[in-house]
């Protein structure tokens, strides 16, 4: 039996069909009936997993996400009138499975999930879902050019009502990657557009997968951009971010704390930078992930000589 999918446009092999993304790709070609309450339960659970991702480590979350993807996959052949909604929920779950896999260093597995997420988006006619896959994939893309191409397409996919938070995230990521290649004009323009979009955003009422795009996360994107470009706005943005965080330094805010610590150390506020670096180290230990490891290495290189023990701890964590 030939089981065709967008995974390279080829028939799914026996080994691929044994994987969650392979089973999902095969199920997308089917269709039948499922009752409304079951469909709603599956969709709500998919959304809930994106919220849980804020606090659970990738290792703890992986089996739960893949099990739910299996549940939606099993339901898709009987989806009937709920096929589009379940295809979107399946794609959102597959994207999260890809992100979790990437966080764990399973890059080929992540890419496979992102591709089948894009397949779900095409079948459902839901561009924001493709934007989710592209933006996640941008972190691990093979070159700066590929990252910016992914993010440009993603920005086009989240135009329109109901996508303000997603647009702010995508444009903020575009600014970050433009800054990484020294495109100051492009980075600042994208950051301005991201902030404008965020003025109209409500991350609690839009797609479940934008819940992490808090004001703190927007601060961290700005800090990343200004830090890479050496912009004078870095210091005042860091001060604003410190004031916004206050004492609520969540274990889930690894990226935010990492960018803030780097910004403070670069800006010369060493005492505050060391304090936030310690908070970052605790958060990164509680929720280890790839992005945290990258930031740990950067922070370790910026710490003063008096913080050898903290620097050693962060370098070991990053290795």
CA gap 64, 250 in Å, rounded = 23
Cβ atoms of residues 57 and 100 within 8 Å = no
Global pTM value: 0.83
Q: Please name which of 131, 188, 130, 175 lies closest in space to residue 155, comparing C-alpha atoms.
A: 131
Question: Within a 10 A sphere around the Cβ of 285, how many other Cβ atoms?
Answer: 14
- Dihedral angle over CA of 295, 297, 299, 305, nearest 10: 170
Q: Report the alpha-carbon distance of residue 8 to residue 271 in Å, rounded.
A: 51
Per-residue three-class SS string for the chain: CCCECCCCCCECCHHHHCCHHHHHHHHCCCCCCCCHHHHHHHHHHHHHHHHHCCCCCHHHHHHHHHHHHHHHHHHHHHCHHHHHHHHHHHHHHHHHHHHHHHHCCCHHHHHHHHHHHHHHHHHHCCHHHHHHHHHHHHCCCCCHHHHHHHHHHHHHHCCCCCCHHHHHHHHHHHHHHHHHCCCHHHHHHHHHHHHHHHCCCCCCCCCHHHCCCCHHHHHHHHHHHHHHHCCCHHHHHHHHHHHHHCCCCCCCCHHHHHHHHHHHHHHCCHHHHHHHHHHHHHHHHHCCCHHHHHHHHHHHHHCCHHHHHHHHHHHHHHC
Kindly tell me the sign of the dihedral angle through the C-alpha atoms of 158, 8, 10, 78. Answer: negative
Residue 22: which residues within 8 A CB-CB, separation 6 or more?
3, 5, 7, 12, 13, 15, 16
pLDDT tens readout for residues 12-43: 333 444 467 666 665 665 544 778 888 898 99
Q: Look at residue 117 in the predicted model and tell me its pLDDT.
A: 97
Low-confidence stretches of the chain (pLDDT < 50) are 1-18, 31-32, 249, 251
The confidence score (pLDDT) of residue 144 equals 96
Res 189: pLDDT? 98
């Amino acid at each position: 039996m030939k089981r065709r999918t967008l995974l390279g446009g080829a028939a799914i092999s026996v080994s691929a069909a044994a994987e969650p993304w392979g089973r999902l790709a095969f199920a997308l070609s089917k269709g039948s009936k499922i009752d409304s309450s079951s469909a709603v339960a599956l969709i709500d659970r998919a959304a809930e997993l994106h919220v849980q991702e804020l606090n659970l480590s990738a290792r703890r979350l992986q089996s739960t996400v893949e099990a739910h993807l299996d549940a939606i996959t099993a339901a898709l052949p009987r989806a009937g009138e709920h096929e589009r909604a379940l295809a979107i929920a399946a794609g959102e779950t597959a994207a999260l499975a890809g992100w979790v896999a990437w966080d764990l260093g399973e890059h080929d597995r992540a890419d496979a999930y992102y591709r089948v997420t894009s397949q779900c988006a095409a079948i459902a006619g839901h561009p924001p879902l493709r934007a989710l896959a592209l933006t996640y994939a941008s972190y691990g893309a093979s070159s700066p050019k590929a990252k910016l191409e992914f993010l440009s397409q993603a920005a086009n996919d989240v135009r329109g009502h109901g996508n303000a938070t997603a647009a702010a995230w995508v444009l903020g990521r575009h600014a970050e990657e433009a800054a990484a290649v020294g495109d100051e004009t492009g980075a600042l323009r994208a950051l301005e557009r991201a902030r404008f979009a965020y003025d109209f955003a409500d991350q609690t009422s839009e797609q479940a997968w934008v819940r992490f795009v808090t004001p703190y996360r927007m601060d961290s994107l700005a800090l990343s951009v200004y830090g890479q470009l050496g912009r004078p706005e870095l210091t005042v943005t860091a001060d604003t971010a410190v004031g916004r965080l206050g004492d609520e330094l969540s274990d889930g805010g690894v990226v935010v704390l990492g960018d803030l610590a780097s910004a403070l150390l670069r800006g010369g506020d060493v005492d505050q930078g060391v304090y936030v670096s310690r908070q970052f180290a605790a958060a990164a230990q509680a929720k280890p992930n790839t992005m945290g490891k990258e930031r740990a290495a950067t922070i370790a290189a910026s710490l003063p000589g008096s913080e050898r023990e903290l620097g050693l701890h962060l370098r070991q964590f990053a290795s």
